[in-house]
Structure 1
Amino acid sequence: MAQKVEKLKGIIFDKDGTLFDYAQVWETILKEGIALTFNSMGKQHHQTAKQAMLSLMGIDEKGQCIPRGLVFTHRRVQILRRFLLYCIRYRVNAIKAIKGYNRSVKHSEVLLNEKLKQMDFSVQQRLFRRLKEEGYHIGVITSDNASSTNLFLSLMGLEKMVDFIASRDSNYRRKPHSEAFNAFCTQAGINPSQVAMVGDTFTDMLFAKRAQSGYRIAVLTGSNDRRRLERLSDVVYEDISFLDTDKRLFPAQ
Structure 2
Amino acid sequence: MIDGVIFDKDGTLFDFRASWGAWAAQLVEVLASETGISAGELGAAIGFDPAARRFDPDSIVIAGTPTEIARDLAAALPGFAAEGLEDRLNRMAEGAPMLPAVDLAAVLGALRARGLRIGLATNDNEEAARAHLAAHGITHLFDYIAGYDSGHGPKPGPGMCAAFARQQGLDPARVAMVGDSRHDLEAGRRAGMRAVAVLTGIAGADELAPHADVVLPDIGHLGGWIDGLRA
- Bin for the TM-score computed over the shorter chain: 0.7 to 0.9
**One-letter amino acid of the counterpart of residue 23, structure 2:** I
In the TM superposition, 1:43-82 aligns within 5 A as: 43=37, 46-53=38-45, 56-58=46-48, 61-74=51-64
Please, which of 19, 31, 36 is the counterpart of residue 30 of structure 2? 36
**One-letter amino acid of the counterpart of residue 202, structure 1:** R
* Conservation of the 8 A alpha-carbon contact between 2:185 and 2:212: yes
Residue 108 (structure 1) aligns with: 92
TM normalised by structure 2 equals: 0.84
Pair 125,62 (structure 1): closer, same or farther in 2 beyond 3 Å: same
Residue 172 (structure 2) aligns with: 192
**One-letter amino acid of the counterpart of residue 157, structure 2:** H
Q: Which has the higher mean CA deviation after the structures are superposed, 64-73 or 193-202?
A: 64-73
The answer to whether 1:146 aligns with 2:136 is no
Q: Which has the higher mean CA deviation after the structures are superposed, 235-244 or 23-32?
A: 235-244
Gaps of 5+ in 2: none
Deviation at 1:242, TM superposition (A): 2.4
* Conservation of the 8 A alpha-carbon contact between 2:102 and 2:218: no
Pair 97,238 (structure 1): closer, same or farther in 2 beyond 3 Å: farther
Deviation at 1:160, TM superposition (A): 0.2
Gaps of 5+ in 1: 1-6
State the Cα RMSD in Å: 3.2
In the TM superposition, 1:162-177 aligns within 5 A as: 162-177=142-157
* Conservation of the 8 A alpha-carbon contact between 1:121 and 1:156: no
Residue 4 (structure 1) aligns with: none
| Identical amino acids, percent of aligned pairs | 27
SS at match of 2:119: strand
The answer to whether 1:161 aligns with 2:151 is no
Deviation at 1:105, TM superposition (A): 2.2
Larger C-alpha radius of gyration, 1 or 2? 1
TM normalised by structure 1 equals: 0.77
CA distance in 1, matches of 2:184, 2:94: 28
Deviation at 1:221, TM superposition (A): 1.7
CA distance in 2, matches of 1:138, 1:59: 35
Deviation at 1:232, TM superposition (A): 0.9
Deviation at 1:122, TM superposition (A): 6.3
Q: Which has the higher mean CA deviation after the structures are superposed, 227-236 or 66-75?
A: 66-75
Deviation at 1:111, TM superposition (A): 4.3
* Conservation of the 8 A alpha-carbon contact between 1:197 and 1:217: yes
- Count matched residues: 231
SS at match of 2:134: helix
Please, which of 218, 223, 227 is the counterpart of residue 239 of structure 1? 218
